Structures are given as structure tokens and as C-alpha cells.
Amino acid sequence: MARPRNFDDDVVVERAMQAFWTLGYANTSPAALAEATGVGKGSLYNAFGSKRELFERALERYDRLGAEVTAELLARPGTTRECLRAFLYDSVKSDLAQPIRRGCLAVNTAVELAGHDPEIARAVRRGVDRTMAALEWRIAQGVRDGDVRPDLAPRATAEYVMNTLAGLRVMARTYDAATLFRIADTALAVLDSA
């Protein structure tokens, strides 16, 4: 009945996400998006409405993929501490693996846009809350299993771990691997019974 799209939305959103992640929102021009996605500017606007809306799609995707990775890491066998360690290490490692340090899209977005765009702020918050809920759940399990100090409140501890991750994502911009891993280890020491 009509001409079909000759690209896959998911693929385009994925590529746009990579571009936004690497360059930042403001520095990713429509031309850059066209280049990165292999789709003409016109088609992008036809399909997604605006740069802003495409960004929201990209952020959503990032949150969803991140939540999947987190869930997988936290569901692995091992002590709570091992799981949280894997959680922190994993993000540091994937950061360092990139040729240019791009940090975390959620953190970048919180810093670049959350202050001036309440809707984006809510989207970021939703994603972070989701990860934090997973952490809380895993920590609560650790308390039940007895491998976490029973006096730790799962909620507060989850917030704390999340905060540590946010810090690491920023520190990864300028510090080396050894420092980052050392920070992660120091942060996790709080979980140990003394």
C-alpha cells in the first residue's frame, strides 16, 4: 500500500545511541546522525520527528540494555560481594575498552541535560531506579544468605553502590585502570563484616 522503510528502526536507534554516547547530545549534529546511521537526514526526521525524540529512543534503549546486563550479572552464582564486584568491574572494563573514554550515557545525560530538561531528567531517573532496585534486591538476598552484614539496609546500600558506580563513570574520564579498580575494591570493603 505504501513504500516500505528501507531501514530497521532498532538498528538506527542503536547507531544513534552510539553516536550520542561518544559525542554527547549537543555535539551530535543531524549530519553526524545521518552519517552514523546511514540514513538520510530527511528520513530520520520523517521517522523520529526530531533529534530530541531520537535521543529519547536512544536513551530508552541504553536503559533497557543496561538493565539486562545488570540483571544477568547479579543473577550469577557467587557471593553478594562477588556479584557487586563483577557489577562495578564490568562497567569499568567496558569503559576502558573503548578507544575514547565515553563513560556512561545515563551519567553523561544527567550531567549534560538533566538540569535543563525535566523530561530527560525523569527518563534518566527511571533507568537509574531500575538498576538500583536490582541492586537492592540482590543485597537483600545477601542479607538473608548471611554473606552481607545484617546491619546494612539494602536500600541505602544499593544507593551507595549506585553512587560508587556513578563516580567511577566520571573518574574513568581521567584516571587509569589501577586507580579505578582500587576504588571499586575500597568501596566494596564496606560490605564485609569486620
Partner DNA sequence: CCAGTTTTAGACCTGTAGTTCAAGAAAGGT
Partner DNA sequence: ACCTTTCTTGAACTACAGGTCTAAAACTGG
Which amino acid is present at 81?
R
Torsion sign over Cα 103, 132, 14, 177: positive
Q: Contact region for a copy of itself (CB under 8 A) — 58-66, 78-86, 139-147, 167-175?
A: 167-175
Calpha distance 140→145 (Å, rounded): 9
Q: Of 29-37, 61-69, 74-82, 162-170, which part binds DNA (CB under 7 A)?
A: 29-37
Judged by CB under 8 A, the chain residues 94 through 113 that form the site for a copy of itself are 100-103, 107-108, 110-112
Among all chains, which residue has been given the C-alpha cell 533507568? 127
79 binds, among a copy of itself, DNA, none (CB under 5 to 8 A by kind): none
Q: Does 2 bind DNA (CB under 7 A)?
A: yes
Q: Which is nearer to a copy of itself, 89 or 160 (CB)?
A: 160
> Does 40 sit near DNA (CB under 7 A)?
yes
Rounded (5°) CA angle 18-85-21: 10
- Any contact of residue 32 with a copy of itself (CB under 8 A)? no
Q: Which three cell numbers stand for residue 187?
A: 568501596
Cβ atoms within 10 Å of 46's Cβ, excluding its own: 11
Residues that bind DNA (CB under 7 A): 1-7, 26, 28-32, 39-43, 45-47, 50-52
